[in-house]
Amino acid sequence: MPNIRWSLKMTLACSTVAILVGLPACSAAQSAQPAASASTAAASQEARPRLTIEELRKLYADEESRYMEIGGVEVHYKDEGSGPVLFMVHGSVSSTRTWDRITEILKPDYRIIRFDIPGYGLSGRVSDEAAANVQPVEIAEQLAERLGVKKLTFVGVSSGGTMGMYLAAKRPDLVERLIISNTPSDPVDTSHLVMPESFVSATKKSRETGYSDMSFWNEYLSFFAGDPDRISEQTRKEYYDFNRRTAEKHPIALVARIGDGVQAKIEMQKITAPTFLIWGGADPLLPESAADAITGYLGSAQISRVIMPDVGHYPPLESPDRFAQLIAAYVEAGVISDDDPETAKP
């Protein structure tokens, strides 16, 4: 898939929402700042504390955490439960914790595999070599293969859904169903966004300093939610912590991206797997019209669709219980046998 070249001359709207679709935002500004004295740099670091990957793992790794090297990158993943395989991928600037509640609900009946996209969560850094030679879809493909998965239902939100579309196009033998949520199908237009002044101010500060503080993430999560009260304080803290990990040299190299849309449209036409769109209708970035667009591009797939009118850009995060119910209903309608050996955990 084509890479996106980017400039430090970002507009405010771009720096605000580009992180949703795989473009660098606030972190890019850090390299654009003029050189500072040692004392100023030290004070700045104290005011904008970073967390190393090791520190994040001490805070957030648990007994289900596993690590696998794929394409020269250490990938943090979890493999829980047994039954038909649900393979879940989070969106940009998020982590595998997006799926915590859904996993809790569904793992008694399903085998759930999820991972942190390299550069995010608890996965390792992306080397120059990996950035140049590894495609995002290869991480998902190789993880599934090395865990012995023969068939899976791919579940992805935002750019995680983009990865699912690319995998379904490449490996129709592997992806038997595709469930995607608020996933772009075209280069994202931000001209329609109307952000509150508090979010504009937080974004400007983040862009200028190269550091997204807690106030930024509170504004971000509230803006992209249908109901901000559904986003817990713990989730808000997690977004802050994971996005203040030591700055990455290649922050979006292994995030699946639409790019200019040309290759993406070719890939979408290849998809034949039955596809279920679970859409947050209150998403300010990708409203219901975006679901209409992606339905049109998936011309070779059978499409089912549910609009959640009160939910924003992250349905599995904002309304996980409903999201889990919809997953189960869709998958169970298509499962032929509970005794299929290909769904068993080795």
Residue 8 has pLDDT above 90, yes or no: no
Q: Which two tokens stand for residue 253?
A: 């190299």
DSSP code, position 189: P
Cα–Cα distance measured from residue 276 to residue 302, given in angstroms and rounded to the nearest whole number: 8
DSSP structural state of residue 340: -
Kindly state the average pLDDT of the residues 50-56. 97
- Model pTM? 0.87
Band of residue 7 on the pLDDT scale cut at 50, 70, 90: very low
Query: Quick check: 110 pLDDT over 70?
Result: yes
Q: Which residues pair with 74 in a beta bridge?
A: 69
DSSP state of 316: H
d(CA 333, CA 328): 8
Categorize the per-residue pLDDT at 18 as very low, low, confident or very high, splitting at 50, 70 and 90.
low
E runs forming strands in 66-122: 66-70, 73-80, 85-89, 111-115
Classify 12 as helix, strand or coil.
helix
| Percent of the residues in the chain that have a pLDDT greater than 70, as a whole number | 83
d(CA 214, CA 244): 10
Of 41 and 302, the structure prediction assigns the larger pLDDT to 302
Residue labelled with tokens 């290649």 = 250
Averaged over 326-342, what is the pLDDT? Answer: 73
pLDDT digits (tens, 9 = 90+) for 176-217: 999 999 999 999 888 899 999 999 999 999 999 989 999 999
The residue-averaged pLDDT of 269-296 equals 97
What would the mean pLDDT of 237-245 be, rounded to a whole number? 97
Q: What is the pLDDT of residue 46?
A: 54
Q: Per-residue pLDDT for 280 more than 70?
A: yes
Whether residue 32 is predicted with pLDDT greater than 60 in this model: the reply is: no
Neighbours of 218 (CB within 10 A): 20
Between residues 22 and 155, the one the model is more confident about? 155
Q: How far apart are CA 213 and CA 244, in angstroms?
A: 8
Beta strands at 73-80 and 303-308: parallel, antiparallel or unpaired = unpaired
pLDDT band with cut points at 50, 70 and 90 for residue 30: very low
Query: Looking at residue 290, what is its pLDDT?
Result: 96
Q: Which of 146, 140, 147, 148 lies closest to 171, judged by CA?
A: 140
Rounded percentage of the chain residues whose pLDDT exceeds 90: 80
Q: How many angstroms separate the CA atoms of 23 and 92, rounded?
A: 9
> What's CA 182's distance to the chain center, in Å?
11
